[in-house]
Every structure is written in structure tokens, then in C-alpha cells.
Structure 1
């Protein structure tokens, strides 16, 4: 089903995962991580993703063309681009690479001076599109699981759950066999993300390693890492702490969709570049995984999720969800939300309204954090939840 009228889409909100990068260690208890850096392969993956998105949303002959968007020379007023700026900027640099494909250089990116000289931007008309870098230490919205005490409680509970222990037991033969191929790393199932990431990175960049690795080991590592991360970044209720990666992102998504539908903002395409965790939570809170269980795991490098906004047959704004799982998929494929191919914008907001964490103050409260990531500026000394001793007897 194409989510567009004869006049095209109203707009689209995109989530994109970064491209290929160097090894990325995450603490299995806190999910705090080290730095990683984008590779030339990752830059190409993101550029190709941007080129594909251009063919879908900026092509006037496409059924998903965004009505009245500038197609060749970027109108920065029509674009809202954000990116996680943490670590070694693998994600931020991915956003720049994607934008090069979305709006490639053009000789139309030029000006004529008073003396009649025409000047084209460097690099064959390279287009400089502003990206809002979201700093982890200042704004928790794109990395809301980090330094979140209640999320760490969730992780610990998950490690003790029967579902987790059953999967760990199932994985044990693989974990025993993989020891010679993980360079001294722990083979405990709690370390499954790091086991998978090491194998994946080495398989891509180290020919000697790739030739020696048994044929099924990468596939098995991916399978068990998917199971592991799905348990970490989902929960039994959409407003529970396991869904925190998408709960802090939803306010921006809803704000963008609402402004597009009300025509109160010129923005027609909103893009957030991030890592894999919000994809897991988004697909869970919208029940998309019930319609397509294959998406219940780690999105591939250079994946994209699209919330397409159009007018339905009754004239009311509707949203459809689509997903492209990196280079594994040739194109965006439709997903269901709550069993439907599309929902009205009003339904989308109503269903997810109690899920959102819409400010740093609310994040501090939701995470039981009173010091780090900007929380120290708020006075929680009299809050009976975060400071039980302040409650009246």
C-alpha cells in the first residue's frame, strides 16, 4: 500500500541508523559505551541510503513524493535534521554522508555576484545542510538508556528472568564453541552484544579472521544478539522503562508530524540519525513486530524507518510505517501498527501519549537520576518518589 494521495505525501519523519563503523564495546550492565568511528564503507552505505531516499521522496514521479518539497537545491527551512553526537561521531558523520546522497552537489547551488560572476559551491556544488548535533551530556533524548538508574534495574531484572535464562541456556553450546574466535572476551551470555559486534566487525574488515571463522558463527552470533537486545530494549508495557529509547524520541516525532499536518511549519522532511536501540523499542510499542517478527532485533547498518504522513480517503492525516533493513532490503517495506496498515495521526498520538518522556526534567524523574546529564539543575529534594525521606510523616 502506498501512503500517498495523487498530490503526494504531506511529509515524512525518518529514523536512520549509522553506517559501518569500528568496534563498539558496550558495558553489559549499564550500556555505557566506548568511542567508535565511521569507516569508508559506512560512509558509502549512508550515501547510498540517502540516494535511495531521494529517489523515493524527492522524485516527482514517485508515488511517495513529498508535495512541494525542493528537489534539487535543498531548502533548509523544509528540513529538520538531528543526530546523536556521542562517541567518535560515527553517527553524526553518518548523517552528513546520508545528506550528500539526499541532496547531492549541483551546479544550481550557486550565486551570481554584482560583477556578473557566477560562483558554484566547492566540490561540484556541495550542499551544506545544517545538522543539529545532540550532545549526550546535555540532552538525553537520543541516548536515554545511559545513566538511567531505573533502566539499569530493568537490565538486572531481565538477566534474572526465566525468558532470558532459557535463551542463555540455548546459546551455551555456541558460546562454548566461539571462545577461540573472540580474542579473550567473556563468553558469558550477558556479553552477547559485544561478542556479536566483535565477530561482525572482524568479519567485515579482517580477511584472515573471516576465512577462519566457521560458516554459521556470524549468523548464530547475530541471532542470539537479536534475542538479547530485544529483551533489553522492550518491556511489558509501552510506558515502562525498557522502552526508554523510543519514549524520549517520540515527542520530537509527534511534534514534527503534528506541525506538518497543521501546516504550521515549513518542515517537510525530518531525519534523526541514531543507533539501533530506538528501532527495537519503536517496533515494539507500535506492535509492528507482531505483524513482522523478523524486525524484532538489531537493525542493520544504514537502516531506515519512515513515518509517512498523507491525507486519508476521509481527508484526515494518516501515518504509515515503513522500514528498510540496511542493504538487506532493496526498498522500504510496509509494516503494520497495532494491526493496521495505517492509522490516523490522532490515533497515533492518543495511543502513544502516555508513553512519551517529553523533557530532560521528566527523563531525570523517570530514570531516578538527580545529578548527571543536566539533572543537577532541578530540585528533587522535596520529591517523595526520588527522595522518600522528604515525604510528610
Structure 2
């Protein structure tokens, strides 16, 4: 009887899964293997290219052709309106995005016949041209050693800098001095000896990590035992987590706030277009992962979420429904969101796992809950970013408050206020009136008078004005 009940339950579960439809997805992806930050400019390596390409192949099998295929998405030939791909202005991240896309949408051989009967074959076996749009967030992040170097948010930098005054930082900096001194010979002069310390924990780890992957020999290699390498990684994790997130001062997690806003924007586009938008992909740095993990309370699920993610790691937000989609796009009450994460390159033999968001226990949340929770910390507008960051220059100048009113409010935004064009005309007349008035006073006080051209021709002194006798 028990086995019958179990089989019945499995059948019901299979039926429930079969009824599920993925309506869209948003991926945030780290770049592949690269050269070390300490030897900038960094470059994507052949290994890194292979990692992101493999990841693209996996997500192709998941969302374009597999059981979790996004409803209505083009499987073989890309339809650009269904896809949004973004990366900062950064060689490693841009190239990683392009490598990923080659795996996601491989070449499709096409032949086009022209009006004159000539046949034209697509070059490079039909390589599909997919644009990677640039975003400001994280520009140049792979050439910078400090986590906040790629951020222009002043308050985020101040918040991260406060970590260096914390007891947690001071304690680790003091206790690890001898350990870092033993690593100095292995750095081979890539950074100065005094910089090999906990203050530069990530740069030190990154340099050794890249050397372990690519260098056939490393100075002082006998000191780089598995225990030493693990300690380097653990110290780097603690250092970067301290800079990326703090529960009592989450302003340093601005990268995660911006990502949350971008996720919400794209998910809302999927819904508002009734599924015309389908797949959002963004490439970025490990700092954004860590910031978002902290904001979404993923550290409560596992301590692994407090570490630096490996190359080609990815996190995914799936928008899905159990409602019937044949009759139209489901309403908001029938939508759910699921979070998946994979540390390192995803593949068909090593797939992403599902994790609960926001400190909960459920593997999926309603769209309403997801939206409300993200809105608690998401940055969705330029004005909001400027206000949180305390920035006042550039694009933020328009939002600077003066005497309780924004610049926009002061310039007038009500129906009774005059337009700039009308204001300009009135201003010109006022200026002219002031000039004429000043001239009249000058003539009155100085005894000057106006003389016509004819008077000048009759022998009046060559001046348009002359003093009285």
C-alpha cells in the first residue's frame, strides 16, 4: 500500500511539474578566467572563454530547448526583441558576454538569394550577431583591485572604508601578519612587499590563484600548500564580504541595490509586454553577487554566500506559472519567482541549485512578494541613486535640494509657471530697459544731448553726444 501511495504522489508531482511554464528569466553572470588584477589591463583567457561558452551551452539546453524552455522563445535563430544582454565597459566582461552568447545561440548556416539570382552565404558558418549593451554599473571593474573602485557612489565608498576601522578588520589584519609575510616570495614582486597584507587580501589571493592555474612554476612554491591556499581564499572572502555588505550599514551594497532595480525592471517588462520580452542576461563582477546575497539574506541559507564566487558563476531568477498559458498571459496572482545559483561554470553535469530568498524556506515566492521584497532595497531611478549616494555633480546636479526644493521644482514645473522661452524674452526686455534708463540718467546728469546725422553734416562736432555750453 505504501508503494502505491508513493507512486501516486510521484505521479501527481510529475503532473504539477509538467503544468509549470517558464515565462522569462534573468541571469547575472560572472566573467570567465582572466589574467590577474595586479597586472592590469586584465584579459579573458582561453580557459575563461571556454568556461563562459560552456555556461551558454547549458542555459541554451535549459531555456531554449529543454523542459524549462521559456514559453515562445526562438530556439535556433535569435530574435533580438526577446533578448537583452548587458555588460559594463570592461574588456573581460564584454568578451565574456560574447563568449556566452556563442554558446547560447550557435551559428546557423543561412543562404540568401538576391533579386539578381546570386546566392550569398552567411560568413563564419552563420555566426549570429547579438549586441551586448553597455551599462555604467561596474565599468572597469576587472582592472581595479579595490571592490568599490568601479563605483562612483560616494556614500558606498565611505561605508566600505569604515570596514577598515572595524574590530573585525583590525583583528584579522593583526593575526595574519606572519602568514602574509610567508607569502611575499611567492608574489615575485608583482606588488611591493609591504602591500602583501590583509589590507590587500583579494589582490594577493587573486595573484596567487591565477599563478596556480597558469604558471608552470611559482617562487617559494613549497610554501603554497593546500592549507595555505585555503587560508588565502578564506581571508580574501572575509575581506571582500566586509567591503560588500554590512547588515547595520547596507549602503556599501549599492551594487546589489542597482542589480535589484535592473531585475525588477526587466521582470516588469516581461509582464507588461505579455511575454514579448523573455530573457535578460547581465555580466558583472563578484562584488555585485556578494552585495545582492547580503541584501537578499542568502547568508542565512549558507555561509557559502559570504564568499567570492568562482569564475563563470551565475545566479538566475525564473518567472514561471502553473496557470494555463494557452488562453493568454497569466495575471500577477498566478506568477511566481524562483532563485537558482551555481558556483562556477554551469553544465549539464553540474546544474544550478534552487535556494530560498529573503531568509524564507520556500523555493519559490509569489511575484507580489518578490517585487515587494526587492523594492525594500532596490534602486530604480537616477534620483534615488543620487539621494542614497549623496552625489551632487553630473547627472545628479538636477536633484540637488536647496531650501527644501529640488532644482527642477525651483525652475518651475507647474502649469502656472512661465516657460524658459517666455522667461528669456522677458529677461531681454528687462535688460534693455535697464540699459536705456542708465543712458537717460547719464545724459541728464552730464549735460549730453542727442544729435542727428543731418546736424553732423552741417558741421556739428563728430560725436553723437556733446556737452552743453
TM superposition score normalised by structure 2: 0.72
Tell me, yes or no, if the aligned pair for 1:8 and 1:63 is still in contact at 8 Å. Answer: no
Q: 2:53 aligned with 1:47, yes or no?
A: yes
Tell me, yes or no, if the aligned pair for 1:144 and 1:248 is still in contact at 8 Å. Answer: no
The equivalent residue for 2:327 is none
Q: 2:132 & 2:170 partners in 1: Cα distance?
A: 42
The equivalent residue for 1:200 is 209
The equivalent residue for 1:104 is 106
Tell me, yes or no, if the aligned pair for 2:138 and 2:150 is still in contact at 8 Å. Answer: no
Relative to total residues, which structure has the larger helix share, 1 or 2? Answer: 2
The equivalent residue for 2:239 is 228
Q: Quickly say closer, same or farther: Cα 1:352–1:343, change in 2 above 3 A.
A: same
The equivalent residue for 2:345 is 327
The equivalent residue for 1:113 is 114
The equivalent residue for 1:124 is 125
Q: CA deviation at 1:194?
A: 0.7
Q: Which moved more, 1:360-369 or 1:334-343?
A: 360-369
**Match for 1:21 among 18, 34, 45?**
34
RMSD: 3.1
The equivalent residue for 1:275 is 285
Q: 1:40 & 1:166 partners in 2: Cα distance?
A: 39
Q: Quickly say closer, same or farther: Cα 1:376–1:170, change in 2 above 3 A.
A: same
Q: CA deviation at 1:287?
A: 1.6
Q: Equivalences for 1:1-393 in 2 at 5 Å?
A: 6=19, 8-25=21-38, 35-59=41-65, 62-86=66-90, 89-107=91-109, 109-135=110-136, 146-182=151-187, 183=189, 184-185=192-193, 186-209=195-218, 212=221, 214-216=224-226, 217-236=228-247, 240-264=250-274, 266-312=276-322, 316-327=334-345, 330-338=350-358, 339=360, 340-371=362-393, 374-375=394-395, 377-378=397-398, 380=400, 382=402
Q: How many residues align?
A: 370
Tell me, yes or no, if the aligned pair for 1:18 and 1:274 is still in contact at 8 Å. Answer: yes
Q: Quickly say closer, same or farther: Cα 1:10–1:275, change in 2 above 3 A.
A: same
Q: 1:292 & 1:385 partners in 2: Cα distance?
A: 45
Q: 1:328 & 1:126 partners in 2: Cα distance?
A: 23
List gaps (5 residues or longer) in structure 1: 27-33, 387-393
Three-state SS of the structure 1 residue aligned to 2:246 is: coil
Could you give the per-residue CA deviations for residues 220-275 of structure 1, whole angstroms, max 9, x where no partner exists? Answer: 211111111111111215x8312111111222200111222344452211000111
Q: Quickly say closer, same or farther: Cα 1:310–1:381, change in 2 above 3 A.
A: closer
List gaps (5 residues or longer) in structure 2: 1-12, 142-147, 324-331, 407-469
Q: 1:365 & 1:104 partners in 2: Cα distance?
A: 43
Q: 2:390 & 2:53 partners in 1: Cα distance?
A: 39
TM superposition score normalised by structure 1: 0.85
Q: 1:252 & 1:76 partners in 2: Cα distance?
A: 19
Q: Quickly say closer, same or farther: Cα 1:277–1:204, change in 2 above 3 A.
A: same
Greater RCO between the two (CA within 8 Å, min separation 6)? 1
Q: Quickly say closer, same or farther: Cα 1:4–1:122, change in 2 above 3 A.
A: farther
